[in-house]
Structure 1
């Protein structure tokens, strides 16, 4: 069971890493991936229990041709066979995901529509998820038979599975993600899995049929490890068929591919175009539009995307000292091989300070001289990580490091001449949020809306002749931004129309813990690929906190109004506890990303922390469960504890917002974060064996209790994850999400407590 947990967590982490590379890697995508994985594991657990608990149904399954030679009575052989299937499915699933665009004839660089994502992710995760979910029930039944235990078996199997999860999470986070590509990781994991099964088989059974399959599977995966790099290159060549791929690079932040087309080099991050070299026009607009709005250019901060010409343009200002912050050092290292020599010289210029790290944390920590200009060039607020550069809190931090007449510049997607409702809300949200801190804003319409803002409007101008005069006075030579191009971009009529449109909407302010802007970005993505679906997103954007609290009350009342049986309260409690535990985990992941930057490369460690807590909680409850007299009373108190933890999370984030020192940031991420996730795991770990024991007291079919409880736990986690990532976090914010799910767990806990106080 330890190996099953190990394989399960690495499989889950690999699927997250690969699927977010293929699809639009925002929190909606992450939520669908995790929810699909949990759903299929729950299905697998239920199916295995369904077939195992009824001999007639089980016989139908095990008589399939693929299972010839396996006796129905031998749960041991079924368990080993499931390990073999996982060792085959894991590498095949990763290969299939890498070939997904080829199969659907979707060119690289083209965003995949959300409807394709919603259908494809569950299908891609189904085979592996179902088999791994079934392994828990198979392992539980086998353990019960071998150890002659029933009531405690589920809790002990859950503990062993959680221990494996911990080892798998740390192995992925510290070893696999840093030293191996995803295919090599999949093959190594499959080897560990099938080797363990082979050893057990040789020691306990030596059934020739299964031993032969194990040896074949082991050999195939060893061959896969030896040829993983060639296989990776082959899948890449198929994805980029017709293109000249000159470089593939991998880092903990994603996949980077460089494609040559004529004299141009296109850089793709996770199959999405990041920038092109050379891009003279974009670089001139990025730098000169904002720097012409400040009276002097002595100190400039650029966050992201200046390697392809932006630094060269900034260095044209003779007094400029430039701080350039880029998150992924692999991007700079790779770009240096293909950018022109003058751009390489710009990177190495003594007036340029290259910083590898998170731009938001750099702004928060800055204690030096104030800047004349801050240029934000990190892309659209399509994720919670990027959204944090467009929030009220970030703009407050930016104002602190700027001179009184200093400017901040940022660009987001837009339309040049007409703004639809979703685009209007998206652009308007950023405009009104920026205006709260910087009252004077210049708008430059286009396919990208550029906003240049300052606290003081005295020097800022949209008059083309004034901007041309400033270029001449400063001796700046440009190819595109000149007396002919500036009147086109600074057209008074289009600027006036855009400002009037943005001023006319009801403003929504974008906050760190209320990331509404990235919800509008998702709505735009949906609108682009699926006409008609935008109505659903507009409807969801109108959901209020009290609507969901009312739903929570109704859910808590269902056991009272419909069933009124104690075991129904136990089942409901297990489902809601799984829901609450997963919401705590996803809220912590998104909240820490908002506060401290990109953390998805730590996903294995995050999950390991959660599972470590589950292992500890399960072990403690297993060792003391026989001493507990009022088990339902304790069960209800644990549900209430989950609710209290959810209520506490917003206060934790408010306290952590003030941390900016590098040492303490790393301490929080590496120590406090795992502790907080482990605490949530402890609560879920305490509840699971207790729920199994109580439920077993109310049913005669104790052999299926473990599978049922496991499925309810995973099902609740799946539902909570979907609701939180798709609806409540972007629409209501992290604080309200914690409140809604806290109320739900609190009400269910109180209901269970009332039932526990009643007589049988």
Structure 2
């Protein structure tokens, strides 16, 4: 039995053949496999490449380009492949190979630094990240893209009399794959990541891939091998837990050896040997503790967070700052070393010390290494430990503090950048007592070369907007101390000496006399630093325009030797006017080209307008939709993060909302595609306009972020609205995909080619959106201007769509 479907009429529903049920079930499992694999790849690469927003953008772009490449290859090899092997058998082999190659891909990612000419914990160059992000993901994302067009063709031939009815077939495959991705993303984020090791999740991913191959297999002979591997991988974890543990330890050891962090000596000869003591993959980050001669270093996503024991470092960092007000009663410590900073702070006669750290695994690892010291600080009644995102804690805090100490990571990512923004410092100024002060440090250079100067100047100018008094040290690490008018902060050497001496704190290394000759508070050097920062032409750093992490990218380029200085310098000079002029020029070229082709087609019988133009513009429209959908999702993630902090499970929920929208949109798009030619055109234009409306609505949400501080009710309502808007964007993107497939296929192209081209266009557009919006547009232009650019891109797509409708080929009606 087959479905009967007219070009733009109503469908007659009939039962599907058995092979279609198997195929759609396999696509659902493939969606789960894809979600699992993508999340595991991204977490591994973030550690290996010391991930920043550029790495994240390149990873996502590499994944999407790989899918596009697979879809395009499917179109090129389809005819020859069909003559050599049955398509369903080919898909089974592809699914099985994807599953079996996944562990080797993960191992390659973990150890790739062995093959790169990079010093220990050095930055990897831009071109190395590009090539590795693409080729290490290639078997998986390439396979996903390759399978989609063939699956769409099988469904189309099995379920319709009209082999050209792409919308119905493609939307079914798209629906089940998106549903699997949504389901996989939810369970891996909320169930597996918090409770299971990475190797367990990888083994489970392999089993899901093998199950999809076994489900799709047309006969028992083909089904035996993937079914056997599925059973074995499913049983190996409960039956051989020690084997899994041993393999995991070897993989982690290999990863840290590729960093150059382990080995390096010979114990028998009495030379230092670095050893991996303990590691964890928390919900928030990859953590590892490495020991060298009894000293431990805690690494978070490949970067050193702190070293312990380091008594000299503890005393200097804490007592240098506390000399500003040794009699402070309430202190807030954001981040830092729990067995280093906290014991030194508790030497002072304070009444309350609040320690805020989002990741509880940090405390657990430190406790495992230094149980006595950790237990000692927890027994002090003055200490309160809070596991919460620090910017969110400060935003909702109603207490007052005499001192706020911020020990934040470098602003290499949008998440870390929030510790250096106007909004964060504004909330800190609100919770400071009248004579209180804030401390924050930022890595820099003593000579303040251009990149370092821009990074430090942006933070300096941001702080000066909110605090009447701002001090900055003249050293490699710039330490900022800021207070209100009544605060008594100073770098006067004699004053600090007297305060530190009168505090009578018993230290082993740090002495009050240090201030009398401290080079970092030399008045002449401080004056040079302040003049350098004040004269720098930089932007203020905000949540909605996180320019500081773009300046950090400039530093990354210098340290990694990527050789993209000219590109980054040009990006810095981009304005919204430049981009709008460019989009206007593109729109004019599209209209002029269309009018020229129309004129040519009037003079002679040509299929250029009815075929080539319709196909090219349909693909372009879908590419702009992919760009806008990904761009708007990235912007909403920025906004969500600025309000609610880096809560990994909530970010996973946002992605799940987008996938849910895709699922609902795929269903809606299939029904809209059979609503008649007039209704079809209205539906497509409506989807385009809805994307413009969503882009215009986001700046309003962004403006609300400046007034939600302390208002729990507004924050909750805004959170729900963001979830709803993400789902709406996903629904619009999901609905437009089958609609454009209908339009493309009616220009005289088969289902396989239609699915291949439209899938490639969608993912290529999304790849460009991921890297341009997240890495370039938002930090350089800000959220509001980026939304205007997205509106311009979508207007360009709408103009292209109108030219397709205006051509009015008879076969479309």
TM-score range, shorter chain: over 0.9
Q: Deviations over 1:668-709 (max 9, x none)?
A: 698544433211110011101110111111124344111111
Q: Which residue of the other structure, out of 616, 631, 646, is the alignment partner of 1:568?
A: 616
Q: Secondary structure at the residue paired with 1:260?
A: strand
Q: Which residue of the other structure, out of 504, 508, 516, is the alignment partner of 1:475?
A: 504
Answering whether residue 695 of structure 2 is matched by residue 611 of structure 1, we say: no
Answering whether residue 738 of structure 2 is matched by residue 689 of structure 1, we say: yes
Answering whether residue 451 of structure 2 is matched by residue 422 of structure 1, we say: yes
- 1:103 positional shift: 4.2
Q: Which residue of the other structure, out of 21, 28, 53, is the alignment partner of 1:27?
A: 53
Name the structure 2 match of 1:180.
Answer: 196
Name the structure 2 match of 1:128.
Answer: 140
- On the 8 A contact 1:168/1:608 being kept in 2, the answer is no
Q: Secondary structure at the residue paired with 1:337?
A: helix
> Separation in 2 of the partners of 1:102 and 1:261?
21
Q: Deviations over 1:336-364 (max 9, x none)?
A: 22237445422331101111101111111
Change in 2 beyond 3 A, CA 1:562/1:166: same
Q: Secondary structure at the residue paired with 2:403?
A: strand
Higher deviation after alignment, 586-595 or 357-366: 586-595
- On the 8 A contact 1:13/1:604 being kept in 2, the answer is no
Name the structure 2 match of 1:402.
Answer: 432
- 1:458 positional shift: 6.0
- 1:85 positional shift: 1.2
Answering whether residue 333 of structure 2 is matched by residue 302 of structure 1, we say: yes
Q: Secondary structure at the residue paired with 2:540?
A: coil
Name the structure 1 match of 2:152.
Answer: 140
Name the structure 2 match of 1:237.
Answer: 253
Answering whether residue 670 of structure 2 is matched by residue 622 of structure 1, we say: yes
Change in 2 beyond 3 A, CA 1:553/1:282: farther
Name the structure 1 match of 2:7.
Answer: none
- On the 8 A contact 1:172/1:604 being kept in 2, the answer is no
Name the structure 1 match of 2:90.
Answer: 78
Name the structure 2 match of 1:466.
Answer: 495
Name the structure 1 match of 2:603.
Answer: none
Higher deviation after alignment, 650-659 or 566-575: 650-659
- On the 8 A contact 1:440/1:457 being kept in 2, the answer is no
> Separation in 1 of the partners of 2:199 and 2:459?
40
Q: Deviations over 1:106-144 (max 9, x none)?
A: 576444344432332112112211011111112112212
> Separation in 2 of the partners of 1:481 and 1:562?
74
- 1:482 positional shift: 2.5
Change in 2 beyond 3 A, CA 1:665/1:300: farther
Q: Deviations over 1:573-616 (max 9, x none)?
A: 11101110010111112221222111445554433221210110
Name the structure 1 match of 2:561.
Answer: 530
Q: Which residue of the other structure, out of 758, 775, 779, is the alignment partner of 1:709?
A: 758
> Separation in 2 of the partners of 1:352 and 1:124?
46
Q: Secondary structure at the residue paired with 2:489?
A: coil
Q: Deviations over 1:416-462 (max 9, x none)?
A: 2x111111111111111100111311111222100101122762221
Q: Secondary structure at the residue paired with 2:470?
A: strand
Change in 2 beyond 3 A, CA 1:442/1:104: same
Name the structure 2 match of 1:272.
Answer: 303
- 1:571 positional shift: 1.8
Name the structure 2 match of 1:509.
Answer: 540
Name the structure 1 match of 2:173.
Answer: 157
Q: Secondary structure at the residue paired with 2:109?
A: helix
Higher deviation after alignment, 101-110 or 378-387: 101-110
Higher deviation after alignment, 524-533 or 704-713: 524-533
Answering whether residue 352 of structure 2 is matched by residue 326 of structure 1, we say: no
> Separation in 2 of the partners of 1:427 and 1:661?
29
Name the structure 1 match of 2:410.
Answer: 380
- 1:534 positional shift: 2.7
Answering whether residue 253 of structure 2 is matched by residue 205 of structure 1, we say: no
Name the structure 1 match of 2:600.
Answer: none
- On the 8 A contact 2:434/2:486 being kept in 1, the answer is no
Answering whether residue 166 of structure 2 is matched by residue 166 of structure 1, we say: no
Name the structure 2 match of 1:345.
Answer: 376
Aligned CA-pair RMSD? 2.4
Change in 2 beyond 3 A, CA 1:602/1:627: same
Which runs of 5 or more residues in structure 2 are unaligned?
1-26, 264-273, 598-612
- On the 8 A contact 1:637/1:753 being kept in 2, the answer is no
Answering whether residue 729 of structure 2 is matched by residue 680 of structure 1, we say: yes
Name the structure 1 match of 2:791.
Answer: 742
Q: Which residue of the other structure, out of 618, 625, 644, is the alignment partner of 1:596?
A: 644
- On the 8 A contact 1:309/1:343 being kept in 2, the answer is no
> Separation in 1 of the partners of 2:275 and 2:118?
17
- On the 8 A contact 1:275/1:308 being kept in 2, the answer is no
Name the structure 1 match of 2:104.
Answer: 92
Name the structure 1 match of 2:64.
Answer: 38
- On the 8 A contact 1:87/1:217 being kept in 2, the answer is no
Change in 2 beyond 3 A, CA 1:18/1:143: same
Change in 2 beyond 3 A, CA 1:339/1:112: farther
Name the structure 2 match of 1:391.
Answer: 421
Name the structure 2 match of 1:642.
Answer: 691
- 1:472 positional shift: 1.6
Higher deviation after alignment, 428-437 or 478-487: 478-487
- 1:537 positional shift: 1.6
> Separation in 1 of the partners of 2:589 and 2:228?
52
Q: Deviations over 1:84-103 (max 9, x none)?
A: 01111222212222222344
> Separation in 2 of the partners of 1:317 and 1:660?
32
Q: Deviations over 1:599-656 (max 9, x none)?
A: 4455544332212101101102212321233223431231121122111112123325
- On the 8 A contact 1:109/1:271 being kept in 2, the answer is yes
Q: Secondary structure at the residue paired with 1:627?
A: coil
Answering whether residue 76 of structure 2 is matched by residue 50 of structure 1, we say: yes
Q: Which residue of the other structure, out of 189, 193, 206, is the alignment partner of 2:209?
A: 193
Name the structure 2 match of 1:485.
Answer: 514
- 1:164 positional shift: 1.2
Name the structure 1 match of 2:9.
Answer: none
Change in 2 beyond 3 A, CA 1:669/1:222: farther
- 1:215 positional shift: 4.5
Change in 2 beyond 3 A, CA 1:442/1:340: farther
Change in 2 beyond 3 A, CA 1:464/1:81: same
Name the structure 2 match of 1:67.
Answer: none
> Separation in 1 of the partners of 2:131 and 2:212?
35
> Separation in 1 of the partners of 2:360 and 2:708?
24
Q: Secondary structure at the residue paired with 1:407?
A: strand
Change in 2 beyond 3 A, CA 1:643/1:281: farther
Q: Deviations over 1:363-403 (max 9, x none)?
A: 111112x2111111012111111111211121111111011
> Separation in 2 of the partners of 1:7 and 1:493?
61
Name the structure 2 match of 1:64.
Answer: none
Q: Which residue of the other structure, out of 314, 324, 329, is the alignment partner of 2:345?
A: 314
Q: Which residue of the other structure, out of 581, 584, 587, is the alignment partner of 2:629?
A: 581
TM-score, reference length from structure 1: 0.92
> Separation in 1 of the partners of 2:454 and 2:190?
41
- 1:558 positional shift: 4.0
- On the 8 A contact 1:595/1:657 being kept in 2, the answer is no
